[in-house]
Amino acid sequence: MRTTAAILNDGMNCLLERLGVLETEIFISYILREPFDYTAWQKEHYAQISVQELNRKAVEYSKGAGECQAPRA
């Protein structure tokens, strides 16, 4: 099992890689300022996509597992 510090470090690196410094700061500020219920967000988010789309995304993710990937247009 990885340490909390290692997980936080990887998370921060992903945010910086995908969002850049400014948008990472905005994201962190928002998360700290606003109450955020991840479980409720997940239910809402996944209710909007089909099982086939979820499967496609899972397969795509598994091909680059462990890497922070930019979203495809």
Identify which has the larger pLDDT, 14 or 36.
14
- The number of beta carbons lying within 10 Å of the beta carbon of residue 5 is 8
Q: Does 42 or 67 have the greater pLDDT score? A: 42
Q: Is 27 within 8 Å of 12 (Cβ atoms)?
A: no
pLDDT given at position 72: 47
Over pLDDT 90: what percentage of the chain? 38
Return the pLDDT at 67: 64
Mean pLDDT over 61-69 rounds to 70
User: What's the average model confidence in pLDDT over 27-53?
Assistant: 87
